[in-house]
Structure 1
Amino acid sequence: MERASLDQIDQKIFAELSKNARISHAELATKVLLSRNAVRQRIDRMERHGHIQGYTVVAGASGQSPVSAFFMVYRKDRVRGADVISALRSIPEVILCDVVSGDFDLLLRVEARTLERIQEIWEQVAALPGVTNTVTALTLSSVIRRDAGGVGEPQ
């Protein structure tokens, strides 16, 4: 059976289930702005199509760390480019998005389970209206990784 692709809402549901496979349909529904029944139907469909194959604890996907990349994004309009940021918020694997000074406008950190998913996200970002160019750097290893402890996080 060919796997149907996941739309943005399915991707959000999948991301939430990846964080907490025991989340209730009601709580999940509030997070993705759907009814509980609609969430249940989407989860059932993802199970039928093989996107969800079970609910278990997997330590970092066979002990592997997620694939990580930085995207440097150039926008057409630095001042009125909020539509690009809005679209980036809907991609659950985008774990950081900073507006920066210099040649490019946005610095993204993306973490996904596979290199193929990183490529899909890159294609999605590059195709956004308002994006003129991207530069991508794959993370080879992380030697320092700290939790900011809430310092500098937007409210």
Structure 2
Amino acid sequence: MENLDKIDLQILKQLQDNSNINIKELAAKLFLTATPVYERIKRLEREGYIMKYVALLDKEKMNRGMIVFCNVRLKEHARNVGANFVKDIVALPEIIECYNIAGDYDFMLKILVANMNSYQDFVMNKLSTIENIGNTESIFVMGEIKHSTALTF
């Protein structure tokens, strides 16, 4: 972050709030002209500060409103076993995030499904078919208090 100045940080903040903003509008908010803002954005993209642009969808409207965190403990920890687990997890569209964690479990999965029946089907017909899972613990979200995709600085 040492390569970023105040204007770069303002650009990043604005793009996190609305990545669909056009260059002219963004430049006006920053009291700059469009060309330097455009050049800064391109540099931020090249340097990897901006990884990609996305549209955030409404989970409820997409019939994926139930959030479940599932902790997974593997039976064994050989390198190929972990790699196979990761390959299988990445292929499941219900899993939107996967973290390798320290503690009692090896992985934490964030899963979006329609409802409890959908989650049961997911566990019985997809998750349980993955080899080397020793133990799981499901945590069901009752209410989302804070959810943000923005990094603050």
**If the length of structure 1 is used for normalisation, what is the TM-score?**
0.52
Change (3 A) 1:61 1:101: same
The percentage of aligned residue pairs carrying the same residue is 20
Which aligned segments of 4 or more residues in structure 1 are displaced greater than 4 angstroms? none
Aligned to 2:136: 134
Contact 1:126/1:134 (8 A) holds in 2: no
Contact 2:73/2:133 (8 A) holds in 1: yes
Contact 1:78/1:105 (8 A) holds in 2: no
Change (3 A) 1:74 1:148: farther
Contact 2:70/2:139 (8 A) holds in 1: yes
Q: CA RMSD in A?
A: 2.4
Contact 1:126/1:132 (8 A) holds in 2: no
Aligned to 2:45: none
Alpha-carbon distance in 2 for matches of 1:59, 1:72? 22
**Structure 1 unpaired stretches of 5+:** 1-57, 150-155
Alpha-carbon distance in 2 for matches of 1:59, 1:97? 18
Contact 2:71/2:137 (8 A) holds in 1: yes
**Structure 2 unpaired stretches of 5+:** 1-57
Say if 2:27 is the partner of 1:60.
Answer: no
Q: 1:1-150 alignment to 2 at 5 Å?
A: 60-61=60-61, 66-80=65-79, 81-123=82-124, 124-148=126-150
Instruction: Using the TM superposition, give the Cα deviation of residue 112 of structure 1 relative to its aligned residue in structure 2, in angstroms.
Output: 1.3
Q: Encode CA deviations 1:7-64: one digit per residue, 9 max, x unaligned.
A: xxxxxxxxxxxxxxxxxxxxxxxxxxxxxxxxxxxxxxxxxxxxxxxxxxx99349x7
Instruction: Using the TM superposition, give the Cα deviation of residue 109 of structure 1 relative to its aligned residue in structure 2, in angstroms.
Output: 0.5
Alpha-carbon distance in 1 for matches of 2:109, 2:98? 5
Instruction: Using the TM superposition, give the Cα deviation of residue 120 of structure 1 relative to its aligned residue in structure 2, in angstroms.
Output: 1.8
Number of residue pairs the alignment of both structures matches: 91
Instruction: Using the TM superposition, give the Cα deviation of residue 90 of structure 1 relative to its aligned residue in structure 2, in angstroms.
Output: 1.1
Greater RCO, 1 or 2 (C-alpha within 8 Å, sep 6+): 2
